Amino acid sequence: MDVTFQFDWSAAFGSIPHLLPGVPWTLLISFGGLAIGFVIGIIFGLMRISSLIWLRLPAVFYIEVFRGTPILVQVLFIFYGLPQILGGPINALTAGIAAIAVNSGAYISEVVRGGVQSIERGQREASLSLGLSRTQAFRYVIWPQAFRRMIPPLGNQAIISIKDTSLFSVIGVGELVRQGQIYIATTFTAMEVYLMVAVLYLAITWTLSIVLRQLERRGLVGQ
């Protein structure tokens, strides 16, 4: 059987105006969730390296659970499961942001742990010998250096989280994939539309990558 397929470039480019409304939703979910995830990551990352077992064990449990389960399962549990526990519905946008927050928070916790532990022990000891308290040594000596080293992996996590939003069409969030699905339902141009969805995701992540490379060239990250 001879099957021919004609790619319609006009349909592909014509879909862009219908897809663009999904970009703000994608960015809102991604960076809103990452902002919360960064706070979670700092808290649990520091708990993870604590000498107190009652702080360390909950951090290990949280990190292993959310790194070891798919984000799709997590967002489905938040959207469909939590309302049964809380006794009220959770809107799709909130569920999406929450899923990015708890998922990225687990990975950022490990980034924080690695960044802090990468600073030589001698710097902490030198800070204490100069009369700084442990809190001051961490705040003014350890953390600034650790944070610079954390920026590249944090950027990588941001890119991963942006791409993860494509899964949230299953709960009806109006991000890029969902906008594409709606448009395909009326035009039946799946190949063309999904290609443009991929191009828009690439444009977002590529822009972020360029920003990170510029930071590296200016010496604002790394050693």
Gyration radius of the chain over CA positions: 22
Q: Write the burial class of residue 87 (CB in 10 Å: 0-12 exposed, 13-18 middle, 19+ buried).
A: exposed
Q: What are phi and psi of 70, to 5 degrees?
A: -65, 145
User: 80-133: per-residue pLDDT in tens?
Assistant: 999 999 888 999 999 999 999 999 999 999 999 999 999 888 887 888 787 888
| Superfamily the domain 10-217 falls into | MetI-like (1.10.3720.10)
pLDDT of residue 137: 86
pLDDT of residue 204: 95
What Å distances lie between residue 69 and 66, 74, 101, 138, 215, CA to CA?
6, 7, 14, 33, 32
**Selected residue with higher pLDDT from 51 and 28:** 28
Name the one residue in this structure whose structure tokens are 């802090």: 116
Average pLDDT value for the chain: 90
Extract the tokens encoding 75.
Answer: 């967002």
Q: Write the burial class of residue 110 (CB in 10 Å: 0-12 exposed, 13-18 middle, 19+ buried).
A: middle
Residue 1 has pLDDT above 60, yes or no: no
pLDDT of residue 223: 54
User: 59-85: per-residue pLDDT in tens?
Assistant: 999 999 999 999 999 999 999 999 999
For residues 93 and 27, the answer to whether their CB atoms sit within 8 Å is no
pLDDT of residue 132: 82
Residues of the chain with pLDDT > 90: what percent?
67
Domain boundaries, the chain: 10-217
The DSSP-derived string for 108-123 is: HHHHHHHHHHTS-HHH
Strands (E), the chain: none
What Å distances lie between residue 125 and 36, 131, 135, 185, CA to CA?
32, 10, 13, 64
Cα separation, 31 vs 97, in Å, equals 8
pLDDT of residue 131: 81
pLDDT of residue 198: 95
3-state helix, strand, coil in the chain (%, to 5): 80, 0, 20
User: 17-26: per-residue pLDDT in tens?
Assistant: 999 999 999 9
Judged by DSSP in three states, 12 sits in helix
pLDDT of residue 9: 86
pLDDT of residue 63: 97
User: 152-177: per-residue pLDDT in tens?
Assistant: 899 999 999 999 999 999 998 888 99
Residue 2 has pLDDT above 70, yes or no: no
222 — pLDDT class (breaks 50, 70, 90)? low
